A and B are shown apart, each in its own frame.
Chain A
């Protein structure tokens, strides 16, 4: 057992209102500068839809993530030899068309237009060439709320796969939102893809980063990441990616995207896992087994044995308590309502998603069919096809999705019974049984999902600075390293060197 801690996230898709505040606050903080125009460390996708970059889930084309070949785990894009062959031309890389050509407007013309015949206007301009364009042709959220209709929706690889389950017509419309950041995977294929070894996963919290000094701009991480969450800065010629706002999480603050999430869909907490089990977990044969095998990597933070081992591994009390109070542990591991995104990529992603509920289909008019209890609809009549959710969140295992939706529905029915009454007790208890849950568990869930206080959504111990550096000296020196005398009192830190 080799225990490590990971700071992980749950996104509750049922709560997501698709507002993109996360994308904007993230962008303002991290990627609001030349070279990063198209970088959305956080983006939100309307589903069904092709996503950003376009069709990123088409791993057949982009060859991101891992595959199992003869029982052995390897990069889908091939090993070091094929890297070397293609090092100056990566055939799998997404092009600007798959992202978009960033544009702006000639704003200045509005204020400084000379006298003219017509009302001045700010014409669209490419941010790449600086030239006027007539209109943008694609963007990072071009298909928001099903814009583009069946033409755009059918570009969704999942829609392609599930044609018979998806109808693109007014009466049967469904949609959901999928916010995405870097998955900070336990088995990150971007790290393995980098010829320079510039990507790494931090030991203390699992955040995956690009070393800006080591990056040589080969860009194999871009296609090597099946989620397409590493970007190339054309100005610095280095890769950049979501850093899980480590400057904030180190201070015990949630990521910008989480803190500013106005749907309050995001939860952050610590989970403990056995680093020695990662490879085996990613190597199970049947993709449908990957969800359970990933779960098997995580450790029960209340288990005295785990606590002992964790302390041995240098994980302090606060972090262990953090793991015990972790909303991520509760939702992903304990209640099993949060699922990994595309477990079949075998990267063991660490952003977990609760699948959304949806309205019943309108063609159902028989009242008896409408609901589980006279008020709350039955999961099998919901508008979002279970197959669609399963394709994204359960490697096509519809039972996994159904179980989560049942639990969420049982929660609503139970809470309605508790606050309003008038619910058929027999049907309610049948539902609890089918959903494999208890009133106690359900009420805990309702509290975390519904009341969801700030300190319950975000349980983040501060960074373990006491483990490194000479903090006594650092207290006065920090940020003034350039002014701190190379001679003078020799600190422990320097003495060690």
Chain B
């Protein structure tokens, strides 16, 4: 109101104020009304707690500001439960990308309405008006090649029109029903990643797909974020310390994970630990952001990390095991690792010796239950062989001895002998694989062995894993063989040896290894290594990781707060896992769902298997691997028929018809149906779809993409996706006729294009995925819906809340799939009455399937080596009822199966009380139908509360029940771990008040009591619970036949693959000026989380707009490039147009195209194909690593997102050159 006197106020300040400060300053009485302008900006209507569902691992809680009814901005919440008095807190959590999110709400890239490509909408309207019903209309369109081609060819070429939700649901439902009838339900597939980032939105689609029998694709392995070494070493998908535990570490190596850039909200714990006296070491090929915080930078060449780690292993073994005995290390090694376990040495026809498999009880003793799964040690106290508790056999033998006790029931105890060096019967000259310089080489080194008699009286040579490690890593203990003299001897695996490979000074390597171990000895294991995409996204990532893990295992740092590995790629940790699994996969109604490993799926569906490069191994090598001569597609087919890996579609025949036909042939029970099917499989009347992936019967007909940008982001081999799955214009230059052809998998001709009938994307913004889809549905943003989030970076569970209701025609994912299921059920009344489906499943991790194939020897029933027995020598089968007209009822209520109990990782929670509590909390359904009276699951909020109630992490009763279940198997007292929190029972409302700390449950391995920071495997080290591995201990040695065949029994250095940009006979690209062939890397970027956020104004402005690619400035100058010039990057897989960023921060010979900028903004045509330049994945192509396919064998058993081949992309080589003319393709 002061404005009334404006003139008066203005005049007032003509009167000068008091002069002070030597007449330099005036104390003016001027009015300050204009200060109110900025004050008003800060005033707001309300603050709402939400988060970002973006697979960044952050899982940060945010304040969303609403002013005048509009979402204006966001800042981080700072109210996480405290970490304790003398410890840095989790506040604030959030990064510049998250802080940019509010831009999307009202931005011009927002998808506000349902969109469909006009060609398809016209066809649909036309046929729909003619046909008697919707399903028939769809059938008419897709059965007519001309009609189908009309809209398939239009993909990726604009022309979207606005449509109604009703029409879109009808098209999607019709296409799904037609597909089920004609081909089978497993031709409907859905891709949505990372449930932890928004569990309900994920579950919405997967619940629908589970109920109809569709194929749900994995992501963690496909992203190559899964570290295969983790299941290999621990039998665990991934379990890592929360970031606050970094502060507990006293020696922290950051190895290929850019903490400030990609773990932005967590990085401060590492920074602050330094003030508490922690030393930080950085390993990276470039001067990465984290090097700023390092005390020393080890600039290892890209992909050579395993060489560095092997040299450090050498130093630690030599100095802390041989030159002196470090008691803490050896006692840890004996109890918690497989180092003392006995391995047989086999002699081949040429008299050469190699390590073979673990010695089993069944080798020396009859009638011990599951003796083939019980491994042995040498007891120092008795000088006898001993079978300690805890190996895989004890997990399934019905006893309660699955534990790590070294005291036996009779009161005696076991002290496992680590080495036979002083007690050997002889020294065997053993061959070890050595592939650093040339694949297939060997080294021969003396190993002390003991001779024992087996059950048949045959003499077996055995040694310990420890003795094998010593010989393999070249630690000289005075034994014969090819051992290096000292650290300066360039024989494997000394510090001098690694210097020529990694470029890192041998002195620095020695120093860091010594300090790492010394620190661990002083602190009892507080030595930690952070690792990530930079070390994990390689073809041989498992060995890079296993070599690095040597360091934490040998120093007793794993299972200790402040120590061990800290792998962060992907937000894989769904803390409330048990309950989430029920809701997400509709296990409350029926099981099993069709869970398919994404990597294999896309390898075949996008025909990347047709472009394989054969390793150049004409010459027979010393090591002579058998399986590396087999095409990965053939190996994948083998893996499927032996039950190792899943495969959907299962068979070229419709899986519903198979049951019908069996019944027609007289099969009555499930057992008889399965026997009938197996018979037909054996006599080849039924065809494995994987062996004929390009038969139109096996195409993925309907494909859902939600919470994901598959085509602009994670789709490795992007151009192959566009060519074969989508059928759009593409830049594939590889030639199938010149590539390596599989033998058992049919691959005639060029391969089909445009396999999908209907591509559906659900998103709130337009991305490359939307641009190629037929239908784009408008999703609610993260500030417009309810959901929950968790991560492994922190121990909290917290919610999404709607700050405003979904604007325009946007819907939450939950409501979207609920609506689709409603229309689906209505149409199914006529077209798909209740029926039965035959579902195939692989031999699964954490089930008895993991002890299906003993001794790790490969036996193929097709070759007659064994009988085909479901669940044993081949996949298992189950007849699953499909009540299609009731999908909607099941979608929206909790089914009765929950009463029978549920769980995860072999832990069972009683279901009856849960069912009752659910009815009380969620209310019961009053909708007429089979779900009436069941707990109601109609809304997203109900789904949230259901998950929270059913899971140990968020409900104390469930946690206690879980521990009790594990007590029965282990004979250990475990209940106390969660007892103090038994009354905790969180609801959405509780989480909205404040994020809540997860309760410790047996589905995870950390302890969270008493302000303790989560550190994995502390349950194992403190409560004697075995790891879920063959020996029950942390594994150095893998004895599966295929592992040994590839020379991968022990960790070793395997160089990156080195593909040529084009194969010899391929046409290639016409030369035009100077170019350079470089290693092409795609590390995670700074200005986006995958493609999310990169398109916001803030993020694109804060760097240089998109797309860009980083290069060493001298390399750039050598091909006449200036900073910010347009360039093109290409190889046989495709071509990219981008602008170059020159710098001296990265070394020569490689380029960084930071991961996932999408090509929707600022990307012109390449000169090569005169098409829009591709994404960062346009020059990548996946190939499968065979050892990741192994299954049915202890920790090497398939689990969804748990184990299986990874879609790594780091081993790419490409050509870069100037793009001279900028063509925007404005036609």
**Which of A25, A247, A411 is the one whose CB lies under 8 Å from B99?**
A25
A146→B1145 contact, CB < 8 A: yes
Q: How far is the CB of A371 from chain B (nearest CB, A)?
A: 8
Interface residues of B in 1089-1115 (CB under 8 A from A): 1095, 1097-1098, 1100-1105, 1110, 1112-1113
Surface stretch bound by B, among A82-90, A111-119, A156-164:
A111-119
Enumerate chain B residues within 8 angstroms of A450, measured Cβ to Cβ.
88, 272-273, 275-276
B275→A412 contact, CB < 8 A: yes
B38→A247 contact, CB < 8 A: yes
Is residue A397 within 8 Å, beta carbon to beta carbon, of the partner chain? no
B1172→A121 contact, CB < 8 A: yes
Is residue B326 within 8 Å, beta carbon to beta carbon, of the partner chain? no
Closest to B27 in A: A203
**Known contacts A114-B159, A200-B28; is-contact A248 B42 (Cβ 8 Å):** yes
Encode A151-184 as 1/0 by CB contact (under 8 A) with B: 1100000000000000011110111110000000
Q: How far is the CB of B175 from chain A (nearest CB, A)?
A: 22
**Which of B277, B292, B1102 is the one whose CB lies under 8 Å from A417?**
B277
**Known contacts A170-B1112, A275-B21, A375-B515; is-contact A362 B1103 (Cβ 8 Å):** no
Is residue A449 within 8 Å, beta carbon to beta carbon, of the partner chain? yes
Enumerate chain B residues within 8 angstroms of A123, measured Cβ to Cβ.
1162, 1224
Enumerate chain A residues within 8 angstroms of B1162, measured Cβ to Cβ.
105, 121-124, 135
Interface residues of A in 464-479 (CB under 8 A from B): 479
- Size category of the A interface is 35 or more
Q: How far is the CB of A247 from chain B (nearest CB, A)?
A: 4
Surface stretch bound by B, among A259-267, A285-293, A300-308:
A259-267
Q: How far is the CB of A385 from chain B (nearest CB, A)?
A: 15
Highest count of chain A CB atoms <10 Å: which of B154, B271, B515, B729: B271
**Which of A139, A213, A371 is the one whose CB lies under 8 Å from B1102?**
A139
Bound-state CA distance A13–B25 (Å) is: 32
B275→A420 contact, CB < 8 A: no
Bound-state CA distance A117–B158 (Å) is: 8
Bound-state CA distance A479–B40 (Å) is: 9
A209→B35 contact, CB < 8 A: yes
A24→B92 contact, CB < 8 A: no
**Which of A29, A168, A173 is the one whose CB lies under 8 Å from B42?**
A29
Is residue B595 within 8 Å, beta carbon to beta carbon, of the partner chain? no
Is residue B267 within 8 Å, beta carbon to beta carbon, of the partner chain? yes
**Known contacts A29-B73, A259-B75; is-contact A120 B118 (Cβ 8 Å):** no
Enumerate chain B residues within 8 angstroms of A203, measured Cβ to Cβ.
27
A415→B275 contact, CB < 8 A: yes
A419→B1142 contact, CB < 8 A: no
Closest to A245 in B: B42
Encode B130-169 as 1/0 by CB contact (under 8 A) with A: 0000000000000000000000001011111000000000
B86→A451 contact, CB < 8 A: yes
Is residue A365 within 8 Å, beta carbon to beta carbon, of the partner chain? yes
Interface residues of A in 122-158 (CB under 8 A from B): 122-124, 132, 134-137, 139-142, 144-152
**Known contacts A107-B107, A417-B277; is-contact A356 B292 (Cβ 8 Å):** yes
**Known contacts A2-B20, A107-B109; is-contact A262 B1112 (Cβ 8 Å):** no
Highest count of chain B CB atoms <10 Å: which of A105, A366, A371, A482: A105
B95→A377 contact, CB < 8 A: no
Enumerate chain A residues within 8 angstroms of B1095, measured Cβ to Cβ.
105, 107, 122
Bound-state CA distance A481–B5 (Å) is: 13
Interface residues of A in 276-327 (CB under 8 A from B): 276-280
A146→B1224 contact, CB < 8 A: no
B158→A113 contact, CB < 8 A: yes
Q: How far is the CB of A478 from chain B (nearest CB, A)?
A: 10
Highest count of chain A CB atoms <10 Å: which of B30, B287, B1163: B287
Is residue B617 within 8 Å, beta carbon to beta carbon, of the partner chain? no
Closest to A137 in B: B1124
Is residue B670 within 8 Å, beta carbon to beta carbon, of the partner chain? no
Is residue A96 within 8 Å, beta carbon to beta carbon, of the partner chain? no
**Known contacts A412-B274, A420-B250, A420-B277; is-contact A482 B1 (Cβ 8 Å):** yes
**Known contacts A173-B1144, A359-B295; is-contact A103 B159 (Cβ 8 Å):** no
Bound-state CA distance A261–B273 (Å) is: 18
Enumerate chain B residues within 8 angstroms of A187, measured Cβ to Cβ.
24
Enumerate chain B residues within 8 angstroms of A211, measured Cβ to Cβ.
30, 32, 34
Enumerate chain A residues within 8 angstroms of B91, measured Cβ to Cβ.
454
Encode B1028-1047 as 1/0 by CB contact (under 8 A) with A: 00000000000000000000
Interface residues of B in 676-733 (CB under 8 A from A): 728-729
Q: How far is the CB of A434 from chain B (nearest CB, A)?
A: 18
Q: How far is the CB of B424 from chain A (nearest CB, A)?
A: 37
Encode A448-492 as 1/0 by CB contact (under 8 A) with B: 011111100000000000000000000000010110101000000
**Known contacts A117-B1227, A122-B1161; is-contact A149 B22 (Cβ 8 Å):** no
Enumerate chain A residues within 8 angstroms of B1100, measured Cβ to Cβ.
103, 105
Closest to B29 in A: A203
**Which of B30, B261, B505, B1102 is the one whose CB lies under 8 Å from A200?**
B30
Is residue B328 within 8 Å, beta carbon to beta carbon, of the partner chain? no
B94→A21 contact, CB < 8 A: yes
B92→A261 contact, CB < 8 A: yes
**Which of B75, B1123, B1146 is the one whose CB lies under 8 Å from A25?**
B75
Q: How far is the CB of A212 from chain B (nearest CB, A)?
A: 4
Enumerate chain A residues within 8 angstroms of B1, measured Cβ to Cβ.
481-482, 484, 486
Closest to B1099 in A: A24
Q: How far is the CB of A27 from chain B (nearest CB, A)?
A: 6
Q: How far is the CB of A166 from chain B (nearest CB, A)?
A: 12
Bound-state CA distance A447–B272 (Å) is: 10
Q: How far is the CB of B620 from chain A (nearest CB, A)?
A: 41
B72→A28 contact, CB < 8 A: yes
Q: How far is the CB of B1079 from chain A (nearest CB, A)?
A: 15
Is residue B260 within 8 Å, beta carbon to beta carbon, of the partner chain? yes
Bound-state CA distance A174–B602 (Å) is: 42
Is residue A398 within 8 Å, beta carbon to beta carbon, of the partner chain? no
**Known contacts A262-B265, A376-B295, A417-B277; is-contact A110 B250 (Cβ 8 Å):** no
Closest to B266 in A: A262
Is residue B1139 within 8 Å, beta carbon to beta carbon, of the partner chain? yes
Is residue A339 within 8 Å, beta carbon to beta carbon, of the partner chain? no
Enumerate chain A residues within 8 angstroms of B1142, measured Cβ to Cβ.
147-149, 151
Bound-state CA distance A371–B511 (Å) is: 11
B158→A115 contact, CB < 8 A: yes
Closest to A13 in B: B292
Enumerate chain B residues within 8 angstroms of A142, measured Cβ to Cβ.
1103-1104
**Known contacts A19-B260, A118-B1171, A247-B39; is-contact A152 B1123 (Cβ 8 Å):** yes
A117→B292 contact, CB < 8 A: no
Bound-state CA distance A32–B282 (Å) is: 38
B158→A151 contact, CB < 8 A: no
A119→B729 contact, CB < 8 A: yes
Bound-state CA distance A120–B712 (Å) is: 13
Enumerate chain A residues within 8 angstroms of B619, measured Cβ to Cβ.
none
**Known contacts A2-B21, A211-B34, A263-B268; is-contact A116 B287 (Cβ 8 Å):** no
Bound-state CA distance A220–B743 (Å) is: 78
Closest to B291 in A: A359
A149→B1144 contact, CB < 8 A: yes
B276→A170 contact, CB < 8 A: no
Enumerate chain A residues within 8 angstroms of B1097, measured Cβ to Cβ.
104
Enumerate chain B residues within 8 angstroms of A173, measured Cβ to Cβ.
287, 1144-1145
**Known contacts A200-B28, A413-B277, A481-B1; is-contact A111 B115 (Cβ 8 Å):** yes
Is residue A60 within 8 Å, beta carbon to beta carbon, of the partner chain? no
B1161→A124 contact, CB < 8 A: yes
Told that A117-B157, A411-B275 touch, could you supply 14 new A-B pairs with CB distance under 8 A? A21-B96, A24-B100, A25-B74, A28-B72, A110-B109, A116-B157, A121-B1163, A142-B1104, A175-B1145, A202-B32, A211-B30, A214-B34, A375-B279, A447-B86
Q: Offer 8 A-B interface pairs, CB within 8 angstroms, sorted by A.
A: A19-B261, A115-B119, A119-B157, A247-B42, A280-B22, A359-B295, A415-B275, A451-B87
Q: Which 6 residue pairs across A and B have the least CB separation, nearest first?
A: A416-B277, A115-B159, A113-B158, A17-B260, A450-B275, A481-B1
